Amino acid sequence: MSFFIPAAQAQAAAPAPGGDPMITILMFGGLFVFMYLFIIRPQRKRQKEHQELTGSVAKGDEVVMNSGLLGKVIQVDENYLTLEVAKGTELKFQKVALHAVLPKGTIKQI
């Protein structure tokens, strides 16, 4: 049975578990840098842009909500927007549900 691993090689001492602690620290550091660059930083950027968007919305703007609803802003409170979605139809939404501000006249073109 010469095709099997010789008994002397199979019984060789295994390397110490854990290895070098410096490599482990570097791997955790690399993982943190990766998470920061590809997950945390872009999410913070999107959050900041959305806060600027909700802070800059004003009466008369035409907007799209997260639900896809189009409307014209008729009233802006601290946390809420009142939209006119049809003549005489007003709906109230939270500002965080705002998706985008459209150019003037977009609703009439649709």
pLDDT-derived band at 64 (thresholds 50, 70, 90) equals very high
State the fold for domain 58-110: SH3 type barrels. (2.30.30)
pLDDT digits (tens, 9 = 90+) for 20-32: 889 999 999 999 9
Per-residue HEC secondary structure of the chain comes to CCCCCCHHHHCCCCCCCCCCHHHHHHHHHHHHHHHHHHHHHHHHHHHHHHHHHHHHCCCCCEEEECCCCEEEEEEECCCEEEEEEECCEEEEEEHHHEEEEECCCHHHHC
pLDDT of residue 54: 95
What is the overall mean pLDDT for the chain?
89
- For the cut 70, the answer to whether the pLDDT of residue 71 exceeds it is yes
- For the cut 60, the answer to whether the pLDDT of residue 81 exceeds it is yes
pLDDT of residue 19: 75
User: Across residues 33-38, what is the average pLDDT?
Assistant: 96
* 50 vs 15: which has the higher pLDDT: 50
Domain extents in the chain:
18-56, 58-110
